């Protein structure tokens, strides 16, 4: 039994409340309040180092994406030139 002596009021939409209640019911024989308490206490926000690493990865992917698009443009131009050349040669 909990010896809780404090109350936390959290505004929530009706839809979100239904979702939380469904999840609490799936979690077993615990109240919705206990489910929310456990979920909140288990939550650990990502630290700054992890976020910086993720940002660096995203930036790297952006660079790779730009390089890939540039290579595709060059390949497309070379293919157009080859098709034009062979189209003229076949005549």
Model confidence, pTM: 0.47
- What integer pLDDT is reported at residue 1 of this predicted model? 54
Cα Rg for the chain, rounded, in angstroms?
A: 28
- What integer pLDDT is reported at residue 12 of this predicted model? 92
- What integer pLDDT is reported at residue 57 of this predicted model? 93
- What integer pLDDT is reported at residue 89 of this predicted model? 76
**What are the per-10-residue average pLDDT scores of the chain (91 residues)?**
80 94 93 94 83 90 93 97 87 68
Give the DSSP letter of residue 29: S
In Å, how far are 37, 40, 65 from 45, measured between CA atoms?
Answer: 16, 11, 29
41-64 residue pLDDT tens: 998 877 888 888 989 999 999 999
């Amino acid at each position: 039994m909990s010896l809780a002596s404090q109350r936390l009021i959290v505004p929530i939409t009706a839809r979100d409340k239904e979702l939380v209640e469904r999840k609490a019911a799936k979690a077993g024989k615990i109240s919705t309040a206990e489910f929310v308490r456990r979920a909140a206490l288990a939550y650990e926000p990502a630290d700054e180092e992890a976020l910086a690493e993720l940002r660096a990865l995203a930036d790297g992917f952006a660079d790779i994406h730009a390089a890939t698009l540039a290579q595709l443009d060059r390949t497309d131009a070379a293919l157009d030139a080859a098709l034009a050349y062979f189209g003229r040669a076949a005549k």
